[in-house]
Structure 1
Amino acid sequence: MTHAYRPFARRTAVAWLAGLVLSLALPAGAQDRAQRLPAVELRAGFHLIRAEVARTPEQRAIGLMHRKELGANDGMLFVFEQPATQCFWMKNTLIPLSIAFLDDQGRVVNIADMQPQSLDSHCSARPVRFALEMNQGWFARRGIEPGFKLDGPPFAPAR
């Protein structure tokens, strides 16, 4: 038996448990309705994105839950305090989404498609501080792949 999968399984279990703890810690009613957050404009080449920004643990835990639709170029940018392996699931999320994990400069590390109402975990391939959720297929339809750089105020200029 190989031990190669244990760190991933442990990380997935920790991410699942952390999500469960956060969802239980939210104020009553906060997790059963859609949230609306201030947005920032991002650019993916000549494509403009209007991304609501989830900065706090509570905002990140709710994310795009309970939304029945998402505008064609709308999304949610998740901002974390420190780079880490970030994992997402789709509990109470009603629309199919694609998620791009982004480094500090806005460069795509990896992209995953996520199915509604699923507890399957989708993780960044390496530590990141940002994740951008868009309608499923948004990145693929625009040819955005790992290595592509997004621009906008949250991303530090390359040094």
Structure 2
Amino acid sequence: MHNMLISKNNLIKLFAPLILLGSSLALAQVNTGLPTIELKAGIYRIQAELADTPKAREVGLMNRTSMPANSGMLFVFERKAGHCFWMNNTKIPLSIAFIADDGKIVNIEEMQAETTNNHCPKAAVRYALEMNKQWFSERVIVPGTVVTGLPKR
């Protein structure tokens, strides 16, 4: 059996790439300028960027080329309405869940990248959650599922 001693310098060399990777991921998150909140849908945790201003809602996930698996964007509106979404300048396909004030998902739509089709809620809502395409269906999250952690307005 070998006696393994790792010097401090070797540890730094070993972990430096991981530290740099973590720093760049954190920096990428900070560069969006949007706060994040943790939501839960069923047993699944979601790190959601919060789009709760007109400018943040207008830009949304435009021009991004990827999104981590359990991350998304929560759109928060001042009033309940039939807030419709489209995918102009959005490079990744997404799923969107329209969510009622009580946290229940009203309906879920699949959206193709770079399209201008309208995707609308089946009832007036204040919240919409965009995730990677088929995120909801792959986890059997359906209308009626409750999303917790929504900010109160």
TM-score by length of 2: 0.77
The residue aligned with 2:65 is 68
The equivalences for 1:110-125 within 5 A come to: 110-125=107-122
Residue segments in structure 1 that go unaligned for 5+ positions in a row: 1-33
Aligned-partner SS, 1:88: coil
* 2:140 aligned residue: 143
- Does the aligned pair in 2 maintain the 1:36–1:52 contact within 8 Å? no
Residue 44 (structure 1) shift: 1.1
70-79 or 37-46, which moves further after superposition?
37-46
Equivalent residue of 2:87, what SS? coil
Structure 1 counterpart of 2:74: 77
3-state secondary structure, aligned to 2:147 = coil
In the superposition, relative to structure 1, how do residues 155 and 145 fare at CA in structure 2: closer, same or farther (>3 Å)? Answer: farther
2:107 maps to a residue whose letter is: N
Bigger CA radius of gyration: 2
Aligned to 2:89: 92
Output the amino acid matched with 2:53.
T
Structure 2, gaps ≥5 residues long: 1-30
Question: Paired residue for 2:6?
Answer: none
In the TM superposition, what is the alpha-carbon distance from 1:154 to its structure 2 partner?
Answer: 1.6
**TM-score, with normalisation over the residues of structure 1?**
0.74
Percent identity, aligned pairs only, is: 52
Count of residues in Structure 1 that have an aligned counterpart in Structure 2: 123
Q: CA deviation at 1:99?
A: 0.1
